[in-house]
Chain A
Amino acid sequence: ETGVTQSPTHLIKTRGQQVTLRCSSQSGHNTVSWYQQALGQGPQFIFQYYREEENGRGNFPPRFSGLQFPNYSSELNVNALELDDSALYLCASSAALNTEAFFGQGTRLTVV
């Protein structure tokens, strides 16, 4: 059974650019959630996808968007990057009727 994998592990972008982060969910899981963890803070919920539909969103602007594919992998897209978007982005997958979330290693995004 493979765990949650995220790519890339690190990347550096320039303010105003766009970025796509990727997540492969754990086998058998159809729910993917994305979190932003700023330095020294706890993770903050961005949004959740369930069976390819957005299923809940946190307090993030529309330039944060996502997709979930038929194989339940997911993408997080951020447009018009700002310096404050620099953070660790975490993906978590879970089974539909199970509250336990399994996290990937995260993608460290630096905006300069």
Chain B
Amino acid sequence: AQSVTQLDSQVPVFEEAPVELRCNYSSSVSVYLFWYVQYPNQGLQLLLKYLSGSTLVKGINGFEAEFNKSQTSFHLRKPSVHISDTAEYFCAAPTGSGGSNYKLTFGKGTLLTVNP
């Protein structure tokens, strides 16, 4: 079964600084990976996804992530953060097989706090 680990529970940064949120996965089969963002008191919004193809994935709000098979990582990056990026970020991967039988396994989340 596939699992994901988010290595940092909290990441504080200053506005306009770069940020990297780390995610490692475990799997011996084909890998699909996702990053979701959750703003306070809201549901989850998909930031980006890796299904296949290019290992550098670009998402919304200027975020990108790189799939690294040798390091089993899918770290999320943004070159310059804004106050509005303050939120909880979740790495997720589907478990199950075929068709619609995909349930998502989430990491525990990383709280990104952007300070002025």
Contact = CB atoms under 8 A, between A and B. Distances in A.
A33 B46 contact: no
A100 B100 contact: no
Contacts of B54: none
B90 A42 contact: yes
Interface of B: 32, 34, 36, 41-46, 49, 51, 90, 92, 94, 96, 99-109
A73 interface: no
Interface residues of A, number: 32
A50 B99 CA distance: 10
Which of A4, A33, A58, A101 is most buried by chain B, counting CB atoms within 10 A of its CB?
A101
Nearest to A41: B108
Contacts of A6: 43
A45 B105 contact: yes
Given A41-B108, A41-B109, A42-B108, A103 B103 contact: no
The interface centre, meaning the residue of B36, B96, B100, B105 with most chain A CB atoms within 10 A of its CB, is: B100
